Amino acid sequence: MARFCRKAPRRAVSYADLRSSPLSCMTSLPPLLQGARVTLRPLTPADKDLFYQWAVRSDATPFIFNTADNSGLPTWEQLFSDYQPHYFDASDPAQGQSFGILADGRLIGQVNYDGVDPLDNSTELDIWIASSTDTSRGYGTDALTTLMDYLFAQLGVEVCTIVPAASNTRAVRTYEKAGFRLAREVTHNQVRWLHMERQRPA
């Protein structure tokens, strides 16, 4: 869910919340994550220009910000006031991390998780595939599955959520293939959003 337009802030995570968490011992970038069709690599500060282009000047832009005419898009400063440095340098993994999606050696988009809520060990995911030519090829499903496997196994996450617009039916199908199921619907600014969840496997 794009933060600039519509994301509500999570409760701040304190040191006391995290001192016994698997996240507390992470001090460097996570490794490459290998899926069946894609590889995920942690994004770095050097990727921020490309990240911004994906956000505001790609085939994914209308879906990220739910705008048909690309009006009201964020400036660089606005976007990166939401995507803080820890998304690109692993300095605070409890608050989120962004990964580039590599398919056949090409960087085709990004997938990220947000801050892990210590109350229920949940986190929200977001994914962008920059070019429509790379959609409907299984890349998004594999990227989400690969990231969730990492979050469940390494970070102790119990629930992953994702919140597409109901009108984005292709994304909804992708998320269902990755194991997400509808938990509830929310209408905000006359847009119907689907709050979808995937639980950690038993």
What pLDDT shows up at residue 202? Answer: 87
What pLDDT shows up at residue 16? Answer: 40
* Whether the predicted pLDDT of 22 surpasses 80: no
What pLDDT shows up at residue 66? Answer: 82
Angle formed at CA 200 by CA 154 and CA 171, multiple of 5 degrees: 105
Cα–Cα dist 196/202, whole Å? 19
Query: What value does the mean pLDDT take over residues 136-151?
Result: 98
For 61-114, write each residue's pLDDT tens digit. Answer: 999 988 777 778 999 999 999 999 999 999 999 999 999 999 999 999 999 999
What pLDDT shows up at residue 18? Answer: 38
Encoding tokens for residue 68?
């048909």
Query: What value does the mean pLDDT take over residues 15-37?
Result: 64
Angle formed at CA 115 by CA 112 and CA 121, multiple of 5 degrees: 110
Query: What value does the mean pLDDT take over residues 127-144?
Result: 97
Quote the pTM value. Answer: 0.85
* Whether the predicted pLDDT of 120 surpasses 90: yes
Q: Mean of the per-residue pLDDT values for the chain?
A: 88
* Whether the predicted pLDDT of 28 surpasses 80: no
Could you tell me which CATH class the domain 20-160 is placed in?
Answer: alpha beta
What pLDDT shows up at residue 9? Answer: 39
What pLDDT shows up at residue 30? Answer: 75
What pLDDT shows up at residue 26? Answer: 54
Cβ contacts of 155-158, under 8 Å, gap ≥ 24:
155/21, 155/22, 155/23, 155/93, 155/116, 156/21, 156/22, 156/23, 156/116, 156/121, 157/113, 157/116, 157/121, 157/122, 157/123, 157/200, 158/120, 158/121, 158/122, 158/199, 158/200
Of 151 and 26, the structure prediction assigns the larger pLDDT to: 151
Block residue for tokens 């899926």: 35
Block residue for tokens 């220009």: 49
